[in-house]
């Protein structure tokens, strides 16, 4: 690891309050590796030897069953993945591959488990991350089970719109529609039908460009809920704000609970 790699890692909440000797032990056997696009980093069912931290690039997490494949999350820097499997010393529940040239820090799993026992601050940071991931997973499951595909797409577009500044505007989808459909728990055909259903709410689509012409109508359909959507206003907020704004938090990016899914 180079000096600027250590600087980037030290900024992560996971390492911020660790003792210097703990950090030295964690990184003694760690290394930063660069991978070209489409590299399979991990196959579901594999033993997990390292905690992965994405420093640069994009990584897709996906799962398969009975000749089917689905995208579970698309990760951006600085995301950790396979944390729960590392903590439990268990096999990976998903596969990981790079979508573009990526730079990844790999920390030995046995060093992570040892540090959790020896450094209470590091153990607490692991617990906080996993607890946050559990809450995000609960939000994701509620979103999938309680909303129709059209409502899920509407909420996704509201989050994407908020990340671009809000208001009626054109948006560029960050993923292929095949990937977006998987993230939303839909087939590509159902995603197309959902976009068509949103036309009467002022949503137009042309390739990867989505036009939102009536954000208030879209929000009325989506009904953001603070117990499902991390971006939604809470009930204690001023009523006019609740009706007019969608606030974004660090975990409300449109990757759809990538943090929670990345931990399994």
In a domain, 80, yes or no: yes
Q: Taking all residues of the chain, what is their mean pLDDT, rounded to a whole number?
A: 88
Q: What CA–CA distances, in Å, run from 252 to 45, 109, 147, 194?
A: 29, 28, 17, 21
User: Domain check: are 114 and 7 in the same one?
Assistant: yes
Give the whole-angstrom CA distance, residue 15 versus residue 149.
39
Which of 116-125, 192-201, 234-243 bottoms out in mean pLDDT, i.e. has the lowest? 234-243
Query: Residue 234: what pLDDT?
Result: 62
In a domain, 133, yes or no: no
User: Which CATH number do you get for residue 223?
Assistant: 1.10.10.10
In a domain, 261, yes or no: no
Query: Residue 263: what pLDDT?
Result: 65
In a domain, 128, yes or no: no
Write the pLDDT tens digit of every residue in 128-148.
Answer: 999 998 998 999 999 999 999
Query: Residue 233: what pLDDT?
Result: 66
Give the whole-angstrom CA distance, residue 247 versus residue 116.
34
Query: Residue 115: what pLDDT?
Result: 97
User: Domain check: are 25 and 97 in the same one?
Assistant: yes
Give the whole-angstrom CA distance, residue 63 versus residue 129.
22
Q: What's the whole-number mean pLDDT along residues 195-208?
A: 96
Domain extent, residue 193, equals: 148-253
User: Domain check: are 107 and 157 in the same one?
Assistant: no
In a domain, 129, yes or no: no
Give the whole-angstrom CA distance, residue 119 versus residue 128.
14
User: Domain check: are 242 and 181 in the same one?
Assistant: yes
Percent of the chain past pLDDT 90, that is, above it, reads: 75
The answer to whether the beta carbons of residues 92 and 119 sit under 8 Å apart is no
End residue of a domain, out of 72, 97, 118 = 118
User: Which CATH number do you get for residue 90?
Assistant: 2.60.120.10
Write the pLDDT tens digit of every residue in 6-29.
Answer: 888 888 888 989 999 999 999 999
Q: Is the pLDDT of residue 35 over 60?
A: yes
Specify the number of domains making up the chain.
Answer: 2
Q: Is the pLDDT of residue 50 over 60?
A: yes
Q: What's the whole-number mean pLDDT along residues 61-68?
A: 93
Query: Residue 242: what pLDDT?
Result: 33
Query: Residue 251: what pLDDT?
Result: 36
Write the pLDDT tens digit of every residue in 143-194.
Answer: 999 999 999 999 999 999 998 888 999 999 999 999 999 999 999 999 999 9
End residue of a domain, out of 118, 135, 156 = 118
Q: Could you please report the per-residue DSSP string of the chain? A: --HHHHHHHHTSHHHHTS-HHHHHHHHHT-EEEEE-TT-EEE-TTSB--EEEEEEES-EEEEEEETTEEEEEEEE-SSEEESHHHHHHT-B-SSEEEESSSEEEEEEEHHHHHHHHHH-HHHHHHHHHHHHHHHHHHHHHHHHHHHS-HHHHHHHHHHHHHHHTT-SSEEEE-SS-HHHHHHHTT--HHHHHHHHHHGGGGTEEEETTEEEES-HHHHHHHH---TTT-TTSPPTTS-HHHHHH-----TT-STT-SHHHHTT-
User: Domain check: are 109 and 203 in the same one?
Assistant: no
User: Domain check: are 160 and 112 in the same one?
Assistant: no
End residue of a domain, out of 96, 118, 140 = 118
Per-residue confidence band for 253, with pLDDT thresholds at 50, 70 and 90: very low
In a domain, 59, yes or no: yes
In a domain, 131, yes or no: no
In a domain, 140, yes or no: no
User: Domain check: are 172 and 231 in the same one?
Assistant: yes
pTM (2 d.p.)? 0.82
User: Domain check: are 98 and 172 in the same one?
Assistant: no
User: Domain check: are 12 and 107 in the same one?
Assistant: yes
């Amino acid at each position: 690891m180079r000096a600027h790699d250590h600087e980037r890692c030290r900024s992560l909440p996971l390492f911020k309050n660790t003792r210097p000797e703990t950090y030295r032990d964690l990184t003694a056997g760690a290394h930063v590796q660069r991978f070209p696009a489409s590299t399979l980093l991990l196959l579901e069912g594999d033993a997990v030897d390292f905690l992965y931290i994405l420093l640069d690039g994009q990584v897709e997490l996906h799962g398969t069953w009975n000749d089917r494949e689905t995208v579970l999350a698309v990760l951006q820097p600085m995301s950790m993945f396979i944390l729960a499997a590392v903590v439990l010393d268990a096999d990976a529940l998903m596969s990981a591959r790079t979508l573009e040239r990526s730079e990844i820090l790999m920390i030995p799993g046995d060093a992570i488990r040892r540090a959790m026992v020896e450094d209470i601050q590091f153990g607490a940071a692991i617990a906080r991350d996993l607890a946050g991931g559990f809450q995000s997973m609960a939000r994701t499951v509620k979103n999938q089970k309680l909303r129709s595909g059209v409502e899920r797409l509407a909420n996704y577009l509201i989050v994407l719109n908020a990340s671009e500044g809000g208001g009626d505007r054109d948006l560029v989808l960050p993923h292929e529609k095949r990937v977006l459909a998987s993230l939303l728990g839909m087939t590509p055909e159902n995603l197309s039908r959902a976009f068509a259903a949103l036309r009467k709410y002022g949503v137009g689509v042309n390739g990867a460009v989505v036009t939102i012409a009536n954000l208030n109508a879209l929000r009325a359909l989506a009904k953001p809920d603070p117990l499902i959507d991390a971006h939604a206003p809470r009930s204690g907020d001023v009523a006019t704000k609740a009706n007019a704004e969608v606030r974004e938090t660090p975990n409300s990016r449109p990757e759809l609970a990538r943090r929670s899914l990345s931990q399994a």
